[in-house]
Structure 1
Amino acid sequence: MRISSRQFERGSSRLGATVVEFAICCPVLFLFTFAALEFSRVNMIRQTVENSVYEGCRRGIVPGATAANVEAAARFVLDATLISGAQVTVTPSVITEDTTNVSVAVMVPTNANSWVAPFFFTDTQIASNLTMRRERGLSSNID
């Protein structure tokens, strides 16, 4: 089949329209894709912070626990999802047999933990804290 010059001209003008449509739609598509990635990462950070606070408190309420054990347990959970720059605060800083409650607070900056350029959550920090009552009993050795 032979293509006439008229058909060729009509096809080439459509090619220009396709390029213009792509030039308009491509940035919007990339914006939605990167926004979805950033929102997913922030949600993942939020869940990890909640879990690290809980695991840290669980480690601190057992007899024989120390503040270093509590912080190590919280950081272990944070390190599993490659979260950096987190601040872990254990209250009281020295856990004794007379301590009734253990509190753990974790704060994570989103700027240092974003997978893409932080556009939607610039200068934002995700924080959580939890207080649990200590268990009473014989002291044990916690690794």
Structure 2
Amino acid sequence: MRTLKGEVMINVPAPTAWGMFMNNEVVSKINPQFLAEAEYLQGDGSPGSLRHFKLGPALRGFVKESTQKIEKVENGRLVSYSLVDGELRNMYDPYKITFTFMPEPGYEQKKCKAEWKADFEPLNPDVPPPEKAREAALDFLRSLEKFHCSV
């Protein structure tokens, strides 16, 4: 299994950032250019839930939709899921994503390190690592701060 990671520091407390990401109504408003709509097809965000993302115009040339099965949740800190449907399934299997929101020591009420991690296996040797997905995810995580400051 291969791994690709990225992280950004954002001026949002970890529990707040995690809550924004897990709330479909909020996450759909953060940056509609990247994520236009989120909904739980089954469940409520706990392990075993199915969550569907309709991606925005900034990503439509790459990925339009994805459905994930949530595997692990640590309230206020982490969510991990496996891709079960969408264009990336034609490129990788497995494709598991983890978003982690870690409080910044000394600034726990103000900042967190937001990390995106993909564990993946390309379906063939010509498939590149999911660099585009990483950059899109990091841009989206940066958008959490902008959205948080605007509300």
Higher relative contact order (CA 8 A, sep 6+): 2
More helix by share: 1
Larger Rg: 1
TM-score by length of 2: 0.27
TM-score by length of 1: 0.28
